């Protein structure tokens, strides 16, 4: 379980195809405090630490995960990192599972005061779960949806604002038009959809 509050920006050092991808990530975390088997969210994807050393840790990424996430598994790519929530930690963002629900596309970026306003396109499967003033996780970052526009094909466009602090301490400040991003919907919306589906069958 995570909160969507990023605590480090790491970088992929190496990618090795062993059937699954073995990915080594440089980090500022004190890896002496990171246990093998610990969970770390890497741009919104919950992964298990399988090896570590001073200033780095390694994870295995399955082909299933690669197929369902943004094209981020390449050497040199920066990743938003968050260690798993511990009992008693402050819940500064919202409840995040680290399970990516889909991939969105950056439609455009424009200045909004000192902030940036980012437009994101989401596929039809996710559109019903995006709500104005609701929470969304974008590449692992907890954000608030400003507005939503439903499209005729069932997809949706939504907008978020990035304040200067978020731009500085995450990878989102470097987003470009057309870039793919990992999306996780609010877990409460996921459960509500399941309840409605079951209710409709009764």
Predicted pLDDT at 102 = 95
- Residue ranges for the chain with pLDDT beneath 70: 87-91, 194, 197, 202
Q: Could you give the CA distance from residue 62 to residue 111 in angstroms, rounded to a whole number? A: 37
CA atoms within 13 A on the CB side of 196: 8
Query: What would the CATH number be for the domain defined by 8-83?
Result: 2.40.30.20
Distance CA 1, CA 84 (A): 6
- pTM for this entry: 0.92
| Cα three-residue angle 168-173-177, rounded to 5 degrees | 175
Which pLDDT score, from 0 to 100, does residue 121 have?
Answer: 98
| Distance, CA of 156 to CA of 158 (rounded, Å) | 7
**pLDDT for position 192:** 73
CATH value of 102-201 in 3.30.310.40, 3.30.450.20, 2.130.10.10, 2.40.30.20? 2.40.30.20
Q: Same topology for domains 8-83 and 102-201, yes or no?
A: yes
Provide DSSP, 96-148.
B-S---EEEEEEEEEEETTEEEEEEEE-TTTGGG--TT-EEEETTEEEE--EE
- Alpha carbon distance 202, 190 (integer Å): 19
DSSP string, 63-104: HHHHHHS-S--STT-EEEEEEPP-TT----S--B-S---EEE
Could you give the CA distance from residue 120 to residue 189 in angstroms, rounded to a whole number? 19
Domain boundaries, the chain: 8-83, 102-201
pLDDT value for 86? 75
Buried b (16+ CB within 10 A) or exposed e, 17-36: eeebbbbbbbbebeeeeeee
Q: What DSSP line would sit under 22-36, residue for residue?
A: EEEEE-SS-GGGSPT
């Amino acid at each position: 379980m995570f909160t969507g509050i990023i605590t480090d920006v790491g970088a992929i050092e190496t990618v090795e195809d062993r059937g699954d991808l073995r990915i080594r990530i440089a980090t500022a975390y004190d890896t002496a405090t990171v246990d093998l088997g610990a969970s770390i969210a890497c741009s919104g994807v919950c992964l298990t630490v399988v090896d570590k050393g001073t200033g780095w840790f390694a994870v295995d990424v399955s082909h299933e995960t690669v197929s369902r996430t943004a094209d981020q598994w390449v050497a040199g790519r920066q990743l938003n990192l968050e260690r798993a929530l511990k009992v008693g930690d402050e819940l500064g963002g919202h409840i995040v599972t680290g399970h990516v629900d889909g991939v969105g596309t950056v439609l455009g970026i424009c200045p909004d005061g000192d902030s940036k306003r980012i437009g994101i396109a989401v596929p039809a499967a996710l559109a019903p779960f995006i709500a104005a003033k609701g929470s969304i996780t974008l590449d692992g970052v907890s954000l608030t949806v400003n507005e939503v526009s439903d499209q005729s094909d069932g997809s949706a466009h939504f907008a978020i604002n990035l304040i200067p602090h978020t731009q500085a301490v995450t990878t989102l400040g470097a987003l470009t038009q057309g870039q793919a991003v990992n999306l996780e919907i609010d877990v409460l919306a996921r459960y509500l959809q399941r309840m409605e589906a079951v209710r409709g069958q009764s």
